[in-house]
Structure 1
Amino acid sequence: MRKITMLVAAALALTTGGAASAKTTVIYAGKLIADADKGAQGPATIVVTDDRITSITAGRAKAPAGAEIVDLGDKTVLPGLIDLHVHLTGDPGGDFRSEAVEPDEWGVVVGTKNARLTLRAGFTTVREAGSAQYTAFALRRGTAEGFVEGPRIIAAGPSLSIVGGHGDVTGFREDIHAVLDQGYSCTGAVECAEKVRKASRAGADVIKITATGGVLSQQGRGLGAHFTDAEMESIAQTAHSLGLKVMAHAHGARGIEAASAAGIDSIEHGTFADDAALKVMKAKGTYLVPTLMAFEGVRERLGKGIYTPTVEEKVRMTLGTVGQAVGKAKALGVPIAFGTDAGVFEHGRNAGEFALLVKAGLTPREALASATTVAARLLSMEDEVGRLAPGLSADIIAVSGDPLSDVTALEKVDWVMARGRIAD
């Protein structure tokens, strides 16, 4: 009996010890942008307990006893940034044939490197927009549990595509296709619904589809629409019934229009979006994620033997139109959220997207909001990330300068905290 009593006492000590050992961090900011939609304020004190913000006060408040002090001097402190379109498990310029040689496990190794680079660049939440079956899911768990230094990951896993379309295995013999196929191409509404359920069962946080052709895939039939209306409606309805949103890779105008009409939640790239497509996006509340940095990465590699002639032809057809949809979308009131397609260019350069968005027509404040409050709304995580407020996740960064007047200040992040953990 005495032994049982001692065991119970030990268990209670462990249980109550968790609260007693809570870690408190006090952060002194020279300037604070708690919410991109509300502008900046003067010096402030942020108190973080474990992984949550517990208070924000103006000025320099006294720190409680035992707290860790982080004095950021005159730096601007703001919410951790959100990139809604990354491919952590890949690097730019790789030979498309490598997927027939390298094991999926190598993607986790590459992703570990890139997760760290992404976090150090100030991005504390990312949406992984397509990977091998379990690589992004493994990274997601690794960063969540603190084994891997990196951002919070919202992961799609393999994208759904039509047979032979962008996202499906192409460029190999048919017998090789059969070996490499991960089983996410579909034909017809019923089969597409099944593949959404399969992705959900595997662990997807979001469903990624390729609604049109792609620039970097080996099939050379342009960038037009792929799925039928019935197929996309089935995908959207099935995903939404499971509590999942759908992101659609889409370049061509009619594919953008059809995906939006079907209820897809975000259009990725949106390169050739015209007024008709954007009006449907506005009516449906569909977000545009422009990924302008992707085309910078592609432009840098043109003519260097990195891309096949098929890909180079599609690249040259596309570059003159990049960014035009952003100004049109803004004028029509389409919500614009931040995403880069990192992996097409080097990870860690994600913040280069801000200057491109401003060049395309956004104000610096709108560009910052696209990577904070707007992105959080698209993720349905506005009560978790995208702002600095008591109760939200302690995802906080610091930069020199004022990103509300000069967005290039975000290209060099001086300090990062993700989920209450200070990077480095």
Structure 2
Amino acid sequence: MMRLSALLIGGSLSGMALAAPVGGGAEEDLVIHAGAIVAIPGEIQRGPSTIVVRGGRIAEIESGYVERPGAKLIDLKGRTLLPGLIDTHVHFSFSPETKLWSGAIDTAEDVALFAFSNAKKTLEAGFTTVRDVGSDGYSIHALRDAVNEGVVIGPRIFLSGTSLSIVGGHGDMSGLNRKATEALYPYDFTGACTGAVECALRVREAAKYGADLIKITSTGGIMSQQARGLGQHLSDEELTSIVTTAHGLGLKVAAHAHGEGGVAASVRAGVDSIEHGTYLDEDTARLMAKRGTWLVPTLGLLDGRKDADASPAVQAKMAEARRVAGRNIRLAVQYKLNVAFGTDAGVSPHGQNARQFRLMVEQGPMTPAAALRSATVDAAALLGQSDNLGTIEVGKYADMIAVAGDPYRDITLLEHVPTVIKDGRIIVHDQPSAP
């Protein structure tokens, strides 16, 4: 990302700010006439129905088309209504175009505006909730809080803040000379830790400053600028300390883990989710099934990444990852693992999150209904938000999308979402063309 990026989104700021009046405020009742409803993904659809939204939540669901005089009406009789989508693995503070040296020129304000732009793309693509699992500094905290307070409109954000890693590992900065690294990425800023005591301290600091969960990098990373493989980084003792401390504070732990040994060690330590799991093997898949460990497969990890733009070390890791692509989701289907939809947007392009649905169906193979469920019901469960998100039911947040067709038959419909509603506010609504 370059400083210019903050200027380039200037035209988007007014669009974001004006999204609320399009559908009226969340205080005004909104009535939706839907041709069909996938109320609980994975279950049978409802036919023509009326949804009444009040105070940002779903107040009523009635069969047929019921009139509510005086309320704002949105006509979706020709469309299928679904719960808002959830992406449990994004990074709003960067994109595939972000440069290694961007920290030398970008201010915290630049990063916040850039994250805001990426949040806008994501929301308009139908993802009304995300889990941001690694954005530098506290710009993402400011964005989350601004969304929650209604200052700006964006997806609901649950965040980890900076990832915890070993010194020099994935998540700690490498690739710059020592003076530049120490100036731009001081030790306590990066989340690096050594030993059980210091790693526990990092968890407590993250909780102190507002993290919703803890993200760790327990193995090497494909995109990190080093040729040290994808094996285990955090020791068993460090992993156990992090998990025990986080769980004691009521926080879940998401573990970036590619290599077999690091994935297995993370599961044994009790992490709540494995992010990526590129080299997941059968023994660890069985252990995950037994323990209820979630897999967030990030199948679009390398979308938008050109080998020619990467260093030789990264090119080699990218090539190897492509060779085994899909093994994680196939094992997840085989061993009936808990799977939550997550794309690694930031490493892959923002706003194109729904491309992963077709990969889940093609590579799993998962059914379209199961893939959709991973981004709604199941993702909400991973977030601990099943009472608020993931289905269209009375009392839940009025986060919904609509598509022109049956997503159980064609999951690619989710790649082009013409209607997005969050908290009862109409974010996007493209009127159907006249016959």
- TM > 0.5 between the two? yes
Tell me the amino acid that sits aligned with residue 319 of structure 2.
Answer: R
User: What is the match of residue 34 of structure 1?
Assistant: 39
Q: How does 1:101-250 map to 2 (within 5 A)?
A: 101-179=105-183, 180-181=185-186, 182-250=189-257
User: What is the match of residue 264 of structure 2?
Assistant: 257
Partner residue of 1:341 out of 317, 324, 344: 344
User: What is the match of residue 408 of structure 2?
Assistant: 404
Structure 1 residue 328 and structure 2 residue 331: aligned?
yes
Structure 1 residue 313 and structure 2 residue 320: aligned?
no
User: What is the match of residue 81 of structure 2?
Assistant: 77
Structure 1 residue 292 and structure 2 residue 317: aligned?
no
Tell me the amino acid that sits aligned with residue 339 of structure 1.
Answer: G
Q: SS of the counterpart of 2:303?
A: helix
Deviation of the 1:28 alpha carbon:
0.5
- Asked whether the equivalents of residues 87 and 128 of structure 1 are also in contact (C-alpha less than 8 Å), the reply is yes
Structure 1 residue 68 and structure 2 residue 72: aligned?
yes
Query: 1:389 and 1:119 mapped to 2: Cα distance?
Result: 21
Could you give the per-residue CA deviations for residues 239-280 of structure 1, whole angstroms, max 9, x where no partner exists?
A: 111111111111001111110110100011110000122122
Tell me the amino acid that sits aligned with residue 232 of structure 2.
Answer: A
Deviation of the 1:207 alpha carbon:
0.5
User: What is the match of residue 56 of structure 2?
Assistant: 51
Deviation of the 1:147 alpha carbon:
2.7
Q: SS of the counterpart of 2:101?
A: helix
- Asked whether the equivalents of residues 303 and 349 of structure 2 are also in contact (C-alpha less than 8 Å), the reply is no
User: What is the match of residue 96 of structure 1?
Assistant: 100
User: What is the match of residue 383 of structure 2?
Assistant: 379
Tell me the amino acid that sits aligned with residue 292 of structure 1.
Answer: L
Query: 1:37 and 1:383 mapped to 2: Cα distance?
Result: 18
Query: 1:22 and 1:214 mapped to 2: Cα distance?
Result: 45
Could you give the per-residue CA deviations for residues 56-107 of structure 1, whole angstroms, max 9, x where no partner exists?
A: 11111121x3211111121000100000001112121322122233223211
Query: 1:302 and 1:169 mapped to 2: Cα distance?
Result: 21
Aligned length: 399
Tell me the amino acid that sits aligned with residue 60 of structure 2.
Answer: S
- Asked whether the equivalents of residues 85 and 341 of structure 1 are also in contact (C-alpha less than 8 Å), the reply is yes
Query: 2:27 and 2:298 mapped to 1: Cα distance?
Result: 40
Deviation of the 1:422 alpha carbon:
1.3
- Asked whether the equivalents of residues 225 and 255 of structure 1 are also in contact (C-alpha less than 8 Å), the reply is yes
- Asked whether the equivalents of residues 140 and 152 of structure 1 are also in contact (C-alpha less than 8 Å), the reply is yes
Please, which moves more after superposition, 173-182 or 252-261? 173-182
User: What is the match of residue 13 of structure 1?
Assistant: none
User: What is the match of residue 289 of structure 2?
Assistant: 282
Identity score, percent: 47
Q: SS of the counterpart of 2:234?
A: coil
- Asked whether the equivalents of residues 160 and 211 of structure 2 are also in contact (C-alpha less than 8 Å), the reply is yes
Q: Which runs of 5 or more structure 1 residues have no equivalent in the other structure? A: 1-20
Query: 2:386 and 2:285 mapped to 1: Cα distance?
Result: 25
Q: Which runs of 5 or more structure 2 residues have no equivalent in the other structure? A: 1-25, 429-435
- Asked whether the equivalents of residues 295 and 322 of structure 1 are also in contact (C-alpha less than 8 Å), the reply is no
Query: 2:366 and 2:86 mapped to 1: Cα distance?
Result: 17
- Asked whether the equivalents of residues 146 and 152 of structure 2 are also in contact (C-alpha less than 8 Å), the reply is yes
Deviation of the 1:323 alpha carbon:
1.1
Deviation of the 1:317 alpha carbon:
1.7
Query: 1:232 and 1:294 mapped to 2: Cα distance?
Result: 24
Could you give the per-residue CA deviations for residues 134-182 of structure 1, whole angstroms, max 9, x where no partner exists?
A: 1111110122223323100001110000000000011122233222121
User: What is the match of residue 10 of structure 1?
Assistant: none
**Larger gyration radius, structure 1 or structure 2:** 1
Query: 1:249 and 1:104 mapped to 2: Cα distance?
Result: 25
Structure 1 residue 413 and structure 2 residue 392: aligned?
no
Q: SS of the counterpart of 1:71?
A: strand
Q: Cα RMSD between the aligned structures?
A: 1.3
Tell me the amino acid that sits aligned with residue 331 of structure 1.
Answer: Q
Q: Which runs of 4+ in 1 moved over 6 A?
A: none
- Asked whether the equivalents of residues 31 and 52 of structure 2 are also in contact (C-alpha less than 8 Å), the reply is yes
Deviation of the 1:183 alpha carbon:
4.5
- Asked whether the equivalents of residues 93 and 307 of structure 1 are also in contact (C-alpha less than 8 Å), the reply is no
